[in-house]
Structure formats: structure tokens, C-alpha cells
């Protein structure tokens, strides 16, 4: 008997040990130890994450992992959120559902992000997976309330239905009524993205009243405020609640009913919604504020004094999303009241106005960086910034892991010195050694990229716009950032040289997006030939890229690694090196 067999444990034991290993990375490492561990591991892997749905084919996934219960897929690149990816580009989930319907009858969780989901897909899910439990559709589109009705009618064990930020067409079907009276399993329901016609309040009330395990409920803006109290009284066990329209004529009976309902909710930790907020109704939530850890006021158009009042009631806050109406004064109040704050996102109330309409500057962010020792994640829109502020922030908060700054006007310089922000962002990457995500803005030269390449060794995602002077900028990033997975660039003078020199790097990353840069179609074809495991997609609605003059640069470029080869669902405006247009099938 070979020596190694004497040391090996029975498969069942190994499988049991592996079941404690949940993270994908660790699982991948386990499967690389030896052939027998690879085999055992692949049969017992239950959860799959595919960061780019075109990086692998469903058949390949199924072949390797035959017994998956939970899958997460992402489709379109991140810049699709800002309308940079034309409609019809891709990201269709139906081929995946079709394959999985046959191969994974016990699949119970599907999580999708930025994918096109049709009613047909939803209907297929409803009839193929008997024990279906979790559906999360984040920033998806292509389906209507018909598809939701099919799910409601068939999925007896559905626990989670989360449609966060998806676009849903109203087919006028009262889909909520399709949950049978015997259905009681809902734990988490997020319908905040639905329009007015799509939610029947009485059906909602009945659903909530018969689901005792409901922990998270996020309503849409069509439900009027006076009904909110009814819902809360039916579900005092809620941990997360997204209000509906928080606006009504101030009436003391409605107010006290609402305040009473909130005070019953002892488990409530997270609030969101607050569309059209009438400040007079805000005190209704004061009874829960001291326990709140998460507050999303990014739709609340209320002014600084009301925001300050609210925030001062929430000492346990860990996460705050808010509009720039909070102003520097509000952020200073936040810094003194909320010592547990970990994540702050400040959105612009009027992003397209050249003039600021709220007194929010770099000072607010500096105050929070000083006052909140646990601050890790920042997304901040503002209209002015200084290198000094950035350096201060970096020194105050070396524990930052996500730093996304958007100075609204492109190419804005340091308002104190007129200089670019190279030094400021340089300080961020130098001090914040665990930084995994960074978004740059303002006036920037190639220098900032040199700093990033030198210091940002843990950086996984970088977003760049209107920055840099030459290919050297891109080269610094691609050659220096060892952990880089996603790079998205727009309107920068980066071209062929940096791309071709660092071709091999691209295979170590999930994807690269470049739009309105200086890359030629020739370079794209060359890159594509050199790197067969990269899909190089030129997205150009102006017509065939090689029909244009030699010096013309491509409009948009999306490069991603793939073991599945070129995809078959490319629309006419996506150009690759493949001459054979017969491969193209219309979706």
C-alpha cells in the first residue's frame, strides 16, 4: 500500500472538515492541495461566486461543482450604473438559469447584480427549484411584476426577496396577492425600487401579518405615511425598516400613532427610505434612534438643522448615508456624537449645478476623520478640496479601507494652492495600508499614479476619471498594484503602450474598463491576439472601428479574463478581433 494512503483520512471526514471552510479563497486553496482533495472539495462545494458572468460558462461551473446550492453572479461593469454601457450590451441571466434548472434541482439561493433578468427567467426559477429560498436582484432590469407574481405563487419557502435598486416594469398585476394565504416564510423583503402602481397595500398588510419571522422590510414610496404605523404594529420584531413616503400634512393623531408604533420596535437597528421627508415627522423615530446602527437618509431632502437634531439622537450609529444638506456643521455634530461610525456616504443634492447649494466642503470630512476613530469607508461628493485636508484625513485615519472622493467639477485643483491632488491622494495610499478601494477625482498628474503604484499594495479596485498626463500613469498602476482586480478609467490620456506592456497583468485581474481614453483599435486587436484568455471588447456605437481613420481611438473598451472564450450574445456595437460575424446571435 503506497505510503500516502496510510496517512489519508476517509473522504467523509475530509468533507466534514471542509464544511467548516466557507470562504471561496480558502476553498480554492484546499482544492489545489492534491487531486483527491480537489475531487472531494468539488463535490461538497455549496456556494459559488462568479464576479463576471462571462468569465466562465454555466456548463463549466456545473461540470466542476455538481452540487451547488447557492450562486452569486455579476453582469455589467460598474460604470453601467452611470449610463456608460449601452443598452443591450449583455449580462443575461437566462442561459445560467436554464442550465442550473436541470443541474441543480436543490439550488435555493440566487444573487444577481447588474444583470438582465426576464420574466421568463423568474418563471423558470419559480418552477425549477422546489426549495427556493433567497433571491437578490441588485441593480437588475428586464423583468416585470408578472415575474414576481410567478415567484410569489410557487415558492413556498421563499425567505428573502430583495430587489434593491432594480428597474421593474409595472405589468399591473397585483403580484403580492399571489403569495398564498398559507405562505408565512418571509424574512426579508425589499421592494423599495417599485413604482406606485405595483404594491397593493392591503395585500402587503396581510403578508406582513402572517410572516412572524419578518426581520427586514423595505417599502416603496407609494405607501402613504399614515399606513406606516399599521405595518410597524404588525411587525414590531423588525430589525431593518425602509419607510415609504415620509410626507404628509402634519396631524397630531398620525404623528402620535407613528411614534407609538416605532417605540414598539425594540429590535430596530436600521432605517432607510424617508422619501419626501417632512421634518416635523422625524421626531416620531426618536424612540429608536439610540439603538440605530444604520441610517440611510440619502433621499431625505431635509436641511442641516433637522439633520443635526436627528444625528445627535443616534450615538450608536455605524453607517450613515446622507445628502450634502448635512453641511460641514452637521458632519461636525456627527463627529462629536457618533464615535462608532464606520461608514459615511455623502451624496450631492444637486449634482448638475455648477454652484454649491449647500455649505459642504472638505472641512466636514476632515472633522469626521478626526472624530470617528473607527471610520473605514468613505464616499464623499463635494465641490472643493485641498491637499492639506487629504493629508490630514490620511494621518487621522490610517485604518481607512475604502476611500471614494468625487470632486464634482472635473480637473478642479486644490483651492488653497492651485495644485493638483497628487500629494493628497499620495498621502492616502501611503498611510492607509489596508486600502482596498479608491476613487480619484480633481486635477491629477501622472505623479499620483506613481504613488499609487508604489504604496497601494492591497488595493483591489481603482476608479479614475479626467486624470493623468500620459501612458506612464496607467503603467504605474498596472505594474505596481499587486492586488488590483478591477480598474475602471474614463476620460484619461492613457493609450496603447501601457496596455500592451502590461498585457500579462490583465489576466490577473477581473476586468479593465477604459472609455474616452486614447487606445487604438489596432492595439485592441494586438492585445486580443497576444492574450487568448482575455476577452477584449470594443464598445462603439459609431460603427466598425476599423472603418475609421488610423489615428481614431476606440470609444469604450472592456477587457476581462475568461476561460469561456468569446461570448455568443454580443450586440452589433461590440467589436472584437473575431472576423467571423456569424458567431453573433442577437439576444
Partner 1 sequence: MSSENGKRLLETDAGGLNFEATELTLGLPGEPRVTSDGGAKWGSKRGFSETVDLKLGDNNQEVKLGHSLQEAAKSPVSKTQVVGWPPVRGFAKRGKKSCKYVKVAVDGAPYLRKVDLEIYNSYQQLLTSLEDMFSCFTIRNYLNEKKIDQVNGIEYMPTYEDKDGDWMLVGDVPWQ
Residues engaged in binding partner 1 (CB under 8 A): 79, 81-84, 165, 167-170, 194-198, 221, 299, 347-348, 350-355, 357, 381, 406, 408, 410, 463, 465, 490-491
**Half-sphere exposure (Cβ direction) of 314: Cα atoms closer than 13 Å:** 29
First to last CA, the chain: 56
Smallest separation (angstroms) from partner 1 to the CB of 83: 5
**Half-sphere exposure (Cβ direction) of 476: Cα atoms closer than 13 Å:** 19
Smallest separation (angstroms) from partner 1 to the CB of 266: 31
Give the Cβ contact number of residue 120 at 10 Å: 16
Task: Specify the residue, 80 or 231, whose C-beta has the smaller distance to partner 1.
Answer: 80
Task: Specify the residue, 87 or 579, whose C-beta has the smaller distance to partner 1.
Answer: 87
Smallest separation (angstroms) from partner 1 to the CB of 441: 9
Task: Specify the residue, 419 or 491, whose C-beta has the smaller distance to partner 1.
Answer: 491
- Of 494, 555, 500, 560, the residue nearest 527 (C-alpha): 500
What angle is formed at CA 231 by the lines to CA 226 and CA 235, rounded to 5 degrees? 150
Task: Specify the residue, 273 or 453, whose C-beta has the smaller distance to partner 1.
Answer: 273
Phi, psi at residue 478, to the nearest 5°?
-65, -30
Which residues are CB-neighbours of 3 under 8 A, at least 6 positions away? none
Smallest separation (angstroms) from partner 1 to the CB of 352: 5
Longest dimension (CA), the chain: 85
Smallest separation (angstroms) from partner 1 to the CB of 353: 5
Smallest separation (angstroms) from partner 1 to the CB of 305: 21
Which residues are CB-neighbours of 139 under 8 A, at least 6 positions away? 81, 113, 114, 164, 165, 166
Q: How far apart are CA 527 and CA 512, in angstroms?
A: 13
Do strands 377-382 and 270-272 pair parallel, antiparallel, or not at all (unpaired)?
unpaired
Task: Specify the residue, 135 or 194, whose C-beta has the smaller distance to partner 1.
Answer: 194
Smallest separation (angstroms) from partner 1 to the CB of 81: 5
Q: How far apart are CA 114 and CA 166, in angstroms?
A: 8
Phi, psi at residue 532, to the nearest 5°?
-65, -20
Smallest separation (angstroms) from partner 1 to the CB of 197: 8
Task: Specify the residue, 83 or 586, whose C-beta has the smaller distance to partner 1.
Answer: 83
Task: Specify the residue, 26 or 81, whose C-beta has the smaller distance to partner 1.
Answer: 81
Smallest separation (angstroms) from partner 1 to the CB of 388: 23
- For 141-156, give one letter per residue: b (16+ CB within 10 A) or e: bbbbbbbbbbbbbbbe
Smallest separation (angstroms) from partner 1 to the CB of 485: 19
CB 124 within 8 A of CB 153: no
Task: Specify the residue, 163 or 333, whose C-beta has the smaller distance to partner 1.
Answer: 163
Smallest separation (angstroms) from partner 1 to the CB of 554: 16
Question: How many residues are recorded in the chain?
Answer: 587
If you write DSSP's letter for every residue of 334-399 in order, what string do you get?
HHHH-TT--EEEEE-SSTT-SS-SS---HHHHHHHHHH-TT--EEEEEES---HHHHHHHHHH-TT
CB 295 within 8 A of CB 270: yes
CB 200 within 8 A of CB 176: yes
Task: Specify the residue, 120 or 491, whose C-beta has the smaller distance to partner 1.
Answer: 491
Task: Specify the residue, 108 or 324, whose C-beta has the smaller distance to partner 1.
Answer: 324
Taking each helix axis as running N to C, give the angle between helix 225-234 and helix 201-209, from 0 to 180 degrees, rounded to the nearest 10.
Answer: 20
Task: Specify the residue, 144 or 528, whose C-beta has the smaller distance to partner 1.
Answer: 144
Amino acid at each position: 500500500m503506497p505510503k500516502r494512503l496510510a496517512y489519508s483520512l476517509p473522504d467523509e471526514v475530509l468533507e466534514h472538515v471542509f464544511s467548516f471552510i466557507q470562504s471561496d479563497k480558502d476553498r480554492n486553496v484546499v482544492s489545489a492541495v492534491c487531486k483527491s482533495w480537489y475531487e472531494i472539495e468539488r463535490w461538497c462545494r455549496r456556494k459559488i461566486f462568479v464576479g463576471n458572468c462571462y468569465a466562465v460558462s454555466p456548463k463549466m461551473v456545473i461540470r466542476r461543482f455538481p452540487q451547488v446550492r447557492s450562486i452569486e453572479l455579476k453582469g455589467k461593469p460598474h460604470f453601467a450604473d452611470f449610463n456608460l454601457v449601452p443598452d443591450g450590451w449583455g449580462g443575461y441571466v437566462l442561459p445560467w438559469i436554464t442550465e442550473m434548472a436541470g443541474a441543480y434541482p436543490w439550488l435555493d439561493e440566487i444573487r444577481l447584480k447588474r444583470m438582465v433578468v426576464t420574466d421568463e427567467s423568474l418563471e423558470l426559477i419559480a418552477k425549477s427549484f422546489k426549495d427556493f429560498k433567497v433571491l437578490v436582484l441588485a441593480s437588475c432590469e428586464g423583468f416585470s411584476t408578472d415575474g414576481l407574481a410567478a415567484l410569489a405563487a410557487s415558492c413556498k419557502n421563499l425567505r428573502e426577496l430583495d430587489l434593491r435598486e432594480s428597474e421593474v416594469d409595472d405589468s399591473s398585476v397585483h403580484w403580492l396577492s399571489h403569495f398564498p394565504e398559507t405562505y408565512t416564510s418571509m424574512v426579508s423583503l425589499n421592494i423599495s425600487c417599485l413604482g406606485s402602481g405595483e404594491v397593493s397595500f392591503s395585500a402587503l398588510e396581510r403578508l406582513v401579518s402572517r410572516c412572524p419571522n419578518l426581520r427586514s422590510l423595505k417599502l416603496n414610496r407609494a405607501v402613504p405615511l399614515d399606513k406606516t404605523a399599521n405595518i410597524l404594529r404588525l411587525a414590531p420584531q423588525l430589525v431593518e425598516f425602509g419607510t415609504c413616503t415620509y410626507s404628509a400634512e402634519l396631524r397630531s393623531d398620525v404623528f402620535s400613532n407613528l411614534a407609538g408604533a416605532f417605540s414598539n420596535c425594540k429590535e430596530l437597528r436600521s432605517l432607510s427610505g424617508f422619501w419626501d421627508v417632512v421634518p416635523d415627522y422625524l421626531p416620531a423615530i426618536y424612540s429608536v434612534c439610540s439603538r440605530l446602527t444604520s441610517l440611510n437618509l440619502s433621499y431625505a431632502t431635509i436641511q442641516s438643522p433637522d439633520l443635526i437634531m436627528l444625528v445627535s439622537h443616534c450615538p450608536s450609529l455605524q453607517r450613515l448615508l446622507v445628502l450634502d444638506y448635512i453641511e460641514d456643521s452637521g458632519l461636525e455634530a456627527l463627529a462629536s456624537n457618533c464615535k462608532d461610525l464606520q461608514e459615511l456616504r455623502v451624496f450631492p443634492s444637486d449634482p448638475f449645478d455648477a454652484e454649491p447649494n449647500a455649505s459642504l466642503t472638505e472641512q466636514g470630512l476632515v472633522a469626521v476623520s478626526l472624530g470617528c476613530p473607527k471610520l473605514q469607508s468613505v464616499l464623499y461628493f463635494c465641490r472643493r478640496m485641498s491637499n492639506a485636508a487629504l493629508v490630514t484625513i490620511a494621518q487621522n485615519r490610517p485604518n481607512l479601507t475604502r476611500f471614494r472622493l468625487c470632486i464634482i467639477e472635473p480637473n478642479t485643483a486644490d483651492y488653497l494652492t492651485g495644485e493638483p491632488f497628487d500629494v493628497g491622494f499620495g498621502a492616502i495610499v501611503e498611510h492607509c495600508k489596508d486600502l482596498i478601494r479608491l476613487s480619484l477625482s480633481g486635477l491629477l498628474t501622472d505623479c499620483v499614479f506613481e504613488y499609487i503604484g508604489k504604496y497601494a499594495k492591497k488595493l483591489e479596485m481603482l476608479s479614475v476619471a479626467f486624470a493623468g498626463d500620459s501612458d506612464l500613469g496607467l503603467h504605474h498602476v498596472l505594474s505596481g498594484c499587486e492586488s488590483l482586480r478591477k480598474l475602471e478609467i474614463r476620460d484619461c490620456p492613457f493609450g496603447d503602450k501601457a496596455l500592451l506592456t502590461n498585457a500579462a497583468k490583465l489576466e490577473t485581474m477581473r476586468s479593465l474598463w477604459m472609455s474616452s481614453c486614447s487606445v487604438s483599435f489596432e492595439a485592441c486587436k494586438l492585445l486580443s491576439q497576444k492574450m487568448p484568455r482575455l476577452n477584449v471588447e470594443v464598445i462603439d456605437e459609431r460603427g466598425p472601428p476599423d472603418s475609421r481613420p488610423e489615428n481614431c481611438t476606440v470609444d469604450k473598451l472592456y477587457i476581462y479574463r475568461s476561460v469561456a472564450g468569446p461570448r455568443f450574445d454580443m450586440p452589433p456595437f461590440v467589436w472584437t478581433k473575431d472576423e467571423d460575424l456569424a458567431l453573433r446571435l442577437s439576444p
